Amino acid sequence: MGTYKDLLLYKKSFALAMEIFVVTKQFPKEEMYSLTDQIRRSSRSVNICTVEAYRKRRYPNHFISKLTDADMENSETQGWLEFSLACNYITKEIYDKLLIQSDEIGRIVYYMINNPDKLESENKDAN
């Protein structure tokens, strides 16, 4: 039987959060309780909202609500990436790479929000 760990959104959001964690280790110490903390929190929240959405999958409105939270957190992460670039904490190359990953996550979230019934049928096919 499949679990939330089998979801593409879970895998991609976890990978992005971990990449952001590694990249932010190089941020200045004075950013520890501001930008560093915020971007780590928002990127991790995308993943955690995915887990929560999966647990609510039998209730479409709750499922969609949790996915919209994931979408909001993903958008916040993109905002923090912009600040990271503007402050010269990351290169344009790293920014572009992370933004591409975040955009892909956004497309997956959008698809899941608009097709909540697909998750249940895909899980049944996987069993």
Structure tokens belonging to residue 42: 């928002």
90 belongs to a structural domain: yes
Q: What domain range includes position 71?
A: 9-117
Task: Give pLDDT tens digits for 80-116.
Answer: 999 999 999 999 999 999 999 999 999 999 999 999 8
52 belongs to a structural domain: yes
Task: Give pLDDT tens digits for 56-83.
Answer: 999 999 999 999 999 999 999 999 999 9
- Number of folded domains in the chain? 1
103 belongs to a structural domain: yes
pLDDT of residue 124: 42
87 belongs to a structural domain: yes
CATH number of residue 56's parent domain? 1.20.1440.60
* Residue 109 main-chain phi, psi, to 5 deg: -60, -45
Note the pTM of the prediction, 2 decimals: 0.90
Residue type, 31: E
108 belongs to a structural domain: yes
With CA atoms as reference, report the closest residue to 89 among 41, 28, 17: 28
- The percent of residues above 70 in pLDDT, for the chain, comes to 93
pLDDT of residue 1: 58
96 belongs to a structural domain: yes
66 belongs to a structural domain: yes
4 belongs to a structural domain: no
